[in-house]
Amino acid sequence: MRVPGWLDDTRTSYDTVAADYADALRGALAGEPFQRGILALFAELVRAQANGPVCDVGCGPGRITAHLRAIGLDAFGVDLSPGMIDVARRDHPGLRFEVGSMARLDLPDGALAGLLAWFSLIHVPDDEVPGVLAEFRRVLRPGGVVLLGFQTGDGSRHKTEGYGGHPMNVYVHYRPPGRVAAWLAAAGFTVEAELVHHPEPEVEGGFVFAHR
C-alpha cells in the first residue's frame, strides 16, 4: 500500500505529538522484561560479531538509544522528526541524535556494527520497504546485526489521533514475521530468528534478527 507523502505526514505527525509521546513512554521499558531481553540479545550479537557503532533508526525521544548505551553499546539515534530529536537531546543530553530519514541515511557504506529499527518501520508502505532495507544493508559492515521490531498482523490502519489527543495522519502497517524475514532475505541479509511477543491479549509484537 503506497501512501502519497508518507514521509512528510510521518514527520509532521510526530513533530506534533513528540512531547506527549515522550511523557507517555518514559520509563515504560522498566516494565517490559521481554523487550529488555530482546535488546540484550541484540547487544550480545553486536559485540560477538562486529562490535562498533550502532544506529537506532527512528529513535523517537531516544529512550531505546539510551538503554542501548546503558547496556554497553556505542549507540546513537536518527529520527525523521525534528521535534522528536529536540526531545531526545533534551532528555539525554550526553548522547548523539540526528535528524534523518531511514530511506537515505547520512552514513558511509559499512559504517555500523548494528542497526535497530524498533517499531519504526510500521509507517513505511510495503513497496518502500525493500529500498529501506537495502539502505540498512548499505550502512552495515559485513557481519553487522539488524533487529527489526514491528506490530504483527496484516493490513493497515489510518491513525488520525495520537498521544495527548493531538492530530496525526499516518498509516500503521501490520506484518507477519515471515513476510518481514522474507524481505530481509531478499535484501541480502541472513535471517537468524523470528520472535512473537504477546504483551497484552490480542496484541502482538514481532521481532526479526538478521545479519549482513
Entry field: residues in the chain: 212
**Cα–Cα nearest to 54, from 129, 106, 114, 123:** 114
164-194 per-position pLDDT tens digit = 899 999 999 999 999 999 999 999 999 999 9
Buried b (16+ CB within 10 A) or exposed e, 114-138: bbbbbbbbbbbeeebbeebbebbbb
Range(s) of the domain holding residue 187: 6-211
Residue 152: C-alpha distances to residues 72, 148, 175 (Å): 29, 12, 5
Angle between helical axes of 82-91 and 63-70 (0-180°, round to 10):
40
- Any domain includes 133: yes
Distance, CA of 80 to CA of 60 (rounded, Å): 8
Outline where DSSP puts E strands in 85-155.
Answer: 97-99, 112-118, 140-151
For 104-152, the pLDDT digits (tens) are 999 999 999 999 999 999 999 999 999 999 999 999 999 999 999 999 9
- With a cut of 70, say whether residue 4 has pLDDT above it: no
Report d(CA 111, CA 168) in Å as an integer.
34
Q: Phi, psi (5° rounding) for residue 143? A: 90, -10
Cell of 124: 513505511
CATH code where residue 34 lies: 3.40.50.150
| Residues contacting 9, CB < 8 A, separation 6+ | 3, 169, 170
Please check whether residue 169 is in contact with residue 140, taking contact to mean a CB–CB distance below 8 angstroms.
no
State the pairing for strand pair 203-211/190-200. Answer: antiparallel
Residue 101 has pLDDT above 50, yes or no: yes
Number of domains in the chain: 1
Angle of CA points 88, 91, 92, to nearest 5°: 80
What grid cell was written down for 37? 531481553
Please check whether residue 1 lies inside any domain of the structure. no
Each residue's pLDDT tens digit, 36-87: 999 999 999 999 987 899 999 999 999 999 999 999 999 999 999 999 999 9
